[in-house]
């Protein structure tokens, strides 16, 4: 009897995994490039912590004027300080950090980096469409943020960090700080958070969901 040829194994899973990995690597690459470009606007920490440039503002209007000058000038440094405050709060609360990482993993593998040609998501014998998956992930995110300590932890960390930033900006004398026309026009939008828009539109819209 002639031997039959071995069956051809389907390659859908391999192709889906490859597409997801490629999209994820492209996302990380563009995120890294955008972050490096944003960090290039960071001011020297020695300038931020120059104690000889600190003095008490004469009035509320003087403090407000300092805020308007210092916030755009030290915007990247201030955003880094906020990120450090948030990271410290999460590291001191491992359960909240675990919840956030789990939530990020769910968004990444179930929606953001899941190719369009992948088979529908099946959970507990029920098939979920992309719209239903998005709705479920959004609901899960709201539950994690508002029904656990994660939301209050994030708000507390950002509140404390913002208070320290405003305090520094109000007491830092800005007479020795010079913003050129380009930086003044760009303002705070060109700081560390500017990569969100670029990465969202280019990496997530173009690379993710391929």
Convert the pLDDT of each residue in 35-73 to its tens digit.
Answer: 677 667 788 888 888 888 899 999 999 999 999 999 999
Render pLDDT for 115-164 as a digit per residue (tens, 0 to 9).
766 777 777 777 878 888 889 899 999 998 888 888 899 999 999 999 99
Q: What is the secondary structure of 116-175 as a DSSP string?
A: TTSPPEEETTEEE-HHHHHHHHHHHHHHHHHHSHHHHHHHHHHHHHHHHHHHHHHHB--T
**pTM for this predicted structure:** 0.63
Helix ranges (H only) for 9-148 are 12-39, 45-48, 60-73, 75-91, 94-107, 130-147
Nearest to 173 by CA among 73, 100, 103, 101: 73
In angstroms, the CA 109 to CA 137 distance is 11
Contacts of 5 (CB under 8 A, 6+ apart): none
Task: State the Cα–Cα distance between residues 158 and 116, nearest whole angstrom.
Answer: 36
Instruction: Give the residue, 179 or 117, on which the prediction is more confident.
Output: 117
Orientation angle between helical segments 94-107 and 130-147, nearest 10 degrees? 170
Q: Which residue has the tokens 């300590």?
A: 149
The DSSP symbol for 177 reads -
């Amino acid at each position: 009897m002639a031997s039959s040829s071995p069956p051809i194994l389907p390659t859908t899973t391999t192709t889906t995994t490859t597409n997801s990995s490629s999209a994820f690597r492209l996302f990380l690459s563009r995120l890294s490039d955008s972050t490096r470009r944003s960090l290039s606007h960071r001011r020297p920490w020695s300038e931020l912590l120059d104690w000889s440039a600190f003095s008490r503002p004469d009035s509320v209007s003087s403090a407000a004027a300092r805020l308007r000058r210092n916030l755009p000038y030290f915007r990247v440094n201030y955003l880094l300080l906020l990120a450090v405050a948030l990271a410290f709060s999460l590291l001191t609360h491992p359960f909240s950090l675990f919840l956030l990482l789990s939530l990020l993993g769910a968004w990444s593998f179930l929606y953001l980096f899941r190719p369009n040609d992948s088979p529908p998501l099946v959970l507990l014998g029920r098939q979920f469409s992309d719209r239903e998956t998005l709705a479920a992930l959004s609901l899960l995110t709201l539950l994690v943020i508002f029904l656990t300590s994660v939301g209050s932890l994030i708000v507390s960390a950002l509140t404390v960090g913002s208070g320290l930033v405003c305090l520094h900006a109000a007491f830092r004398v800005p007479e020795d700080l010079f913003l050129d026309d380009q930086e003044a026009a760009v303002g705070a939008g060109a700081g560390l958070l500017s990569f969100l828009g670029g990465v969202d539109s280019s990496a997530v819209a173009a690379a993710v969901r391929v």
